Amino acid sequence: MSISYDVEISGENCRNEIFSALFESGVEFTVEKNIEKRGAIGFFSESGMRVFYFDNRMDGWNESAAKDQPLTVDDMIEDWSISARISFIYINSKGEMCDNEIRNFVSALNARVPSNFVLSFQYDKAYAIKKEGYLKWLVDF
């Protein structure tokens, strides 16, 4: 069974800044040529944790029912227009390493992207949220 940690970013599309944060965090991309159609797929070089990137400039994004729904995590509802989603497919046997890589990515993203975003566990439990310019960790992760 796979589990995921997911980041949803609101506001303007900041693809370049997001990719800078991913690269800085140690992500290598394996499928990037067709980003407009399929997104990007990569992995963290240390842990091997897989990473999937999708954004609102991709073909098919408008057909996604999920993109029109307000962000809802932990019963908090934010009326954010989601412009990008990143999923990390967690490797349980490398938990501490995966935790560090996700934490490093969120910190790098916070430094580069002015938009609001949330890190959640399987779109259900919020672990961190950036809102109104401030990053707040909700879970000691």
Domains and CATH numbers, the chain: 3-137 (3.30.310.180)
Contact yes or no for 115/17 (Cβ under 8 A): no
Section 64-72 average pLDDT: 50
* Whole-number pLDDT of residue 102: 97
Segments in the chain forming alpha helices (H) = 15-24, 35-38, 95-112
Contact yes or no for 119/128 (Cβ under 8 A): yes
Annotate 122-140 with b (16+ C-beta within 10 A) or e (fewer). ebeebbbbbeeeeeeebee
Section 22-29 average pLDDT: 93
Section 58-79 average pLDDT: 57
Q: Strand 82-90 to strand 40-44: parallel, antiparallel, or no bridges (unpaired)?
A: unpaired
Q: What is the pTM of this model?
A: 0.86
In tens, the pLDDT along 29-46 reads 876 555 666 678 899 999
Cβ count within 10 A of residue 19: 18
What CA–CA distances, in Å, run from 77 to 12, 15, 54, 117, 136? 19, 24, 22, 13, 16
In tens, the pLDDT along 80-129 reads 778 888 999 999 999 999 999 999 999 999 999 999 999 999 888 889 99
Question: What mean pLDDT value characterizes the chain?
Answer: 84
The angle, 0 to 180 degrees and rounded to 10, between the axes of the packed helices 95-112 and 15-24 is 140
**Better-predicted residue by pLDDT, 67 or 14:** 14
